[in-house]
Structures are given as C-alpha cells and as structure tokens.
A = this chain, B = another copy of it.
C-alpha cells in the first residue's frame, strides 16, 4: 500500500483537479525560447507585437512545460504515476503573453485496467489552461499510467 494520495483508483471518470496558477514572466519566456525555440516572437517584444501572436509570447513548448509543472505540483508528484506513452493532441488556442496568469484543470475522461500489466491502470485526462481573461489558451489530452493502490510500494 502506498502513502501517495493519488493511485489509479482515485481517478474517477468526470472528476476534475484544480491545477493552481502560474504567472508567466517575460524573463522566463525569453530564457526558454533562447534554449529551445529561438523564433523572434518568443524573444523580443516588438517582434511579438508584429507577429500573429500580438505580443512577447511563450513558445508552445514552454506552455507545455509550464502545464507539466502545474500537474506535478497539484497531484502528479503525490501520485503513483508511471509516466505516459504519448499525447493524443495539443491545442495552442490563444497566445500566452508575458504577464499572463495561467490557471487550469485536469478532468478524468476515461479509465481502464491495463490488459498486459495487472498492477497498472490507464487514465485518460483532458487538461485545459486559461488566462486571466477566462480565455482557454491550451488544451491537451493524453493517457497516463498509474499503479493500482495495492500494487504501489
């Protein structure tokens, strides 16, 4: 039996988990982009304003990374997660701009036991992030493997 708060059995279809909040800074946007995605609209305020995105905007991959941190802090690090084999889809619905405050939620879409691994269950999650104007900026759906409570150390 695990002492983790979240095991497979805790992910019930329809349950939503609050992901907390993240303030997005210009410095973080530029730091991430400099290392991984050095397109002008992610590095420079003026270039961002001139682009389709309308301002100094986070790399879509930076938004994914910030989303992962919110997942970690809100439940994943206190769970029996065994990782995920991939992502079903990502939608970058609106630009994430320096100064934005992101909030979000993850909702359990479906659960099923693994056929090949009796200790593991599969949880399909749909996650969304919103900005301070209430606009949905990000959507992701994927399936995560969690140990069943009795199987977890």
Contacts and interface: CB of A to CB of B under 8 A. Distances in A.
Interface of A: 32, 35-39, 41, 51-53, 59-61, 64-66, 68-69, 72, 76-77, 81-93, 145
Contacts of A89: 86-89
Contacts of A61: 61, 64-65, 68
Nearest to A82: B52
Contacts of A77: 38-39
A86 B92 contact: yes
Interface of A is mostly: mixed
A96 B113 CA distance: 26
A126 to B, nearest CB: 14
Contact of A91 (B81, B85, B90, B145): B85
Nearest to A83: B52
B65 A36 contact: yes
B92 A37 contact: no
A38 B90 CA distance: 21
Given A60-B84, A87-B89, 16 more contacts: A36-B65, A36-B68, A37-B69, A37-B72, A39-B77, A51-B82, A52-B83, A52-B145, A60-B83, A60-B86, A61-B65, A64-B64, A83-B92, A86-B91, A87-B87, A90-B90
